[in-house]
Structure 1
Amino acid sequence: MPITVYQYPKCGTCRKALAWLDARGIDYDRVDIVAAPPSRAVLARALALSGVPVRKLFNTSGQSYRQGGFKERVATMSEAEALTALAGDGKLIKRPLVIGEELALVGFREPEWAQALAS
């Protein structure tokens, strides 16, 4: 089963991550995270598989994060509230977000990707 990469075409990090996958011949499905953000259920699965705290799913450098006052809000949000907010605005989500059958990767850190995706 190929992995799904939620990415934003204008994001340099996303383009770098896709080039990294292409260079290694890794099969993936590409989804525009802004045009078609992952559902709350997909985000909950990614959260469980990645093992990161929910605040790590937020794109803290994005405009939606700043305008929405999430820097202050995230600390007091429940996991359910955070997932609902993330599912409602793809620009809030740290990208790229990779989801596979048994794994989820948040952001692009080459050593982490190499370890998780090496076949």
Structure 2
Amino acid sequence: MIKIYGIDHCSSTQKIAKLMKEHGFELTDIKDIHQETPSVKELRIAFHSMSEQPRKLLNTSGQLYRSIGLKDKVDQMTADELFDLLHQEGMLIKRPFLTDGKRASTGTSLKDLSRIWEFDQKK
């Protein structure tokens, strides 16, 4: 079962939930990232799944990202500092965030999703 974090009424979250179901994955109901954020452990899994590129975890187009100037800070942060910040501030996480406890993904890139979740993106 895959946990999906996002915003229920967000078209991108809905699109990826539908795509994953079409590929045979079972998903939880969408967990509202305003109310419930991925754990530090889940964020660490995503970091490794997303080729250890911190920016792949970040909602770089979000208002909060810009208002706190994270663009200029992220390269000086340790991975643990980044995970703690993302766990505290779910709106900094690129959505949707999916995890089954062993692997995780962020965003809507079909290339990343098919690589991580091992499905044919042409289906």
Shift in Å, 1:19: 2.1
Aligned to 1:11: 10
| Deviates further, 26-35 or 84-93 | 26-35
Post-superposition CA distance 1:30-73 (Å, at most 9, x none) = 32122101122221122123323122211000011011111111
- Give the number of aligned pairs: 118
Q: Indicate if the aligned counterparts of 2:13 and 2:95 stay in contact, CA closer than 8 A.
A: yes
Inter-partner Cα distance in structure 2 for 1:49 and 1:111: 13
**TM-score, normalised with respect to structure 2:** 0.82
Q: Which runs of 5+ in 2 are unaligned?
A: none
Residue type at the aligned position of 1:118: F
Identity %: 30
Residue 50 of structure 1 contacts residue 103 of structure 1 at CA under 8 Å; is this kept in 2? no
Name the structure 2 match of 1:73: 73
Question: How many Å apart are 1:111 and its aligned residue?
Answer: 4.1
Unaligned runs of 5+ in 1: none
Hey, what does 1:89 align to over in structure 2?
Answer: 89
Q: What RMSD, in angstroms, separates the aligned Cα atoms of the two structures?
A: 2.0
**Partner of 2:4: helix, strand, or coil?**
strand
